[in-house]
Chain A
Amino acid sequence: SQQGEEDPQALSIQEGENATMNCSYKTSINNLQWYRQNSGRGLVHLILIRSNEREKHSGRLRVTLDTSKKSSSLLITASRAADTASYFCATVNLYGNNRLAFGKGNQVVVIP
């Protein structure tokens, strides 16, 4: 079953605007990761945030993690048409299981 749940599921924005996606999960985690998937392609790892971290930056990406609320957000600043893709959060649980539990994904369309 899917653990993560992203909200909203579809987002359409103008180039240059910021895009924010949220994710919630249910169990105790070791870390949470965000992936991007372009249509018909595999997933590309974007960023990993560990359970003892609250915020992380990578280029135009900013991820926050609130373990008390079991939620995370991904912010893409100054979006570009090339950012058009589906974005998934995935968690690795705390108790020795290395598999990723994915949410349903956010479809983001950046209009040039």
Chain B
Amino acid sequence: GAGVSQSPRYKVAKRGQDVALRCDPISGHVSLFWYQQALGQGPEFLTYFQNEAQLDKSGLPSDRFFAERPEGSVSTLKIQRTQQEDSAVYLCASSTLQGAGKKAFFGQGTRLTVV
């Protein structure tokens, strides 16, 4: 596609509800990242995929957070039993190859509000 696409753009969840956030990376991009951005803060790393392999999940804040990329393209970030502190913008980014010198292309994010 032309860019990284995320859906939904906005999600309101009741506390305790499960949510699933989708990311469509740029076609052919091997690397995919998820970040969490709280209001007024910079993005914080959550997890990293190279193709379908989840190589780094050290940023996931709890075992309620789970991410997958089963076919090496589309990725889903799932949050179980949402809490108010999960309210944030969730950003997905993709890049070519696995080199550290590659710039990342970001989607517009999903704004999650837990009420």
The judgment on whether A and B are partners is yes
Contact B104–A100 (Cβ < 8 Å): yes
Contact A104–B41 (Cβ < 8 Å): yes
The answer for the CA separation of A90 and B103 in the assembled complex, in Å, is 11
Q: Hey, which chain B residues are within 8 Å of A54, CB to CB?
A: none
The answer for the CA separation of A4 and B101 in the assembled complex, in Å, is 17
The answer for the CA separation of A4 and B42 in the assembled complex, in Å, is 9
Q: Restricting to B53-103, which residues have a CB under 8 Å from any CB of A?
A: 56, 59, 91, 93, 95, 98-101, 103
Evaluate whether A41 and B42 lie within 8 angstroms (CB atoms) in the complex, with A31-B101, A99-B33, A99-B48 already known.
Answer: no
Contact B101–A99 (Cβ < 8 Å): no
Q: How many A-B residue pairs have CB under 8 A?
A: 71
Q: Hey, which chain B residues are within 8 Å of A35, CB to CB?
A: 106
Give the size of the chain A interface in residues (CB under 8 angstroms): 27
Contact A50–B101 (Cβ < 8 Å): yes
Q: Does A59 contact B (CB under 8 A)?
A: no
Pick from A4, A45, A100, A105: contact of B33, CB below 8 A. Answer: A100
Q: Does B109 contact A (CB under 8 A)?
A: yes
Q: Does A33 contact B (CB under 8 A)?
A: yes
Q: Does A76 contact B (CB under 8 A)?
A: no
The answer for the CA separation of A96 and B99 in the assembled complex, in Å, is 9
Contact B109–A42 (Cβ < 8 Å): yes
B residues at A contact (CB < 8 Å): 4, 31, 33, 35, 40-45, 48, 56, 59, 91, 93, 95, 98-101, 103-109, 111
A residues at B contact (CB < 8 Å): 2, 4, 30-31, 33, 35, 40-45, 48, 50, 88, 90, 92, 96-105
**Can you list 12 A-B contacts with CB-CB less than 8 angstroms, sorted by A residue number?**
A30-B101, A42-B91, A43-B104, A45-B103, A48-B103, A88-B43, A98-B33, A99-B48, A100-B104, A101-B45, A104-B40, A105-B42
